[in-house]
Homo-oligomer: A and B are copies of this chain.
Amino acid sequence: MTDSTSPLDLDNQLCFALYRASHAVVRAYKSELDQLGLTYPQYLVMLALWQENQPQGVGQLGDVLGLDSGTLTPVLRRLEQRGLVVRCRDEHDERRRLIGLADAGRDLRALAEKVPEKIASRFPMQGKDYHLLMAQLGDIAQAFDNDR
């Protein structure tokens, strides 16, 4: 028997429950995303671009996804190499790079449409509970991201 009253017990730590669940779900996406030739972070970038429907700065994408430029730059470079996005300079501010959809990236959306439901159906909670959980997770991200 492990001592479940210890503050260090893994099963008492919300951080670990989050960490483990997140990795497990990302792993599950892999087999779906392999068919699109995307990694999970690449898929998130494409979701952000499909959603906004107009070129975004690297920083704006980072804000949406909770990632910084050190992470996004190589991800965006690979997406450009695969012909899914274009990276051009902002004419009005030459420091900025505007990330937009290439034709192949726009086309990929139709295929990607089928991915979420395949995963969503595997969550042990559905409907109202599903959305309530999502809202709570959003609150957590916001609470912890506020200072930085």
Task: Point out residues on A near B: beta carbons under 8 Å.
Answer: 2-3, 6-29, 40, 44, 47-48, 50-52, 64-67, 109, 112-113, 116-117, 119-120, 122-125, 129-130, 133-134, 136-145, 148
Bound-state Cα–Cα, A27 to B66, Å: 11
Copies in the complex: 2
Residues of chain B with a CB closer than 8 A to A112's CB: 8
Q: Are B17 and A137 in contact (CB under 8 A)?
A: yes
Q: Are B7 and A19 in contact (CB under 8 A)?
A: no
Bound-state Cα–Cα, A142 to B24, Å: 8
Centre residue among A18, A22, A139 by max chain B CB count within 10 A:
A22
Residues of chain B with a CB closer than 8 A to A26's CB: 15, 19
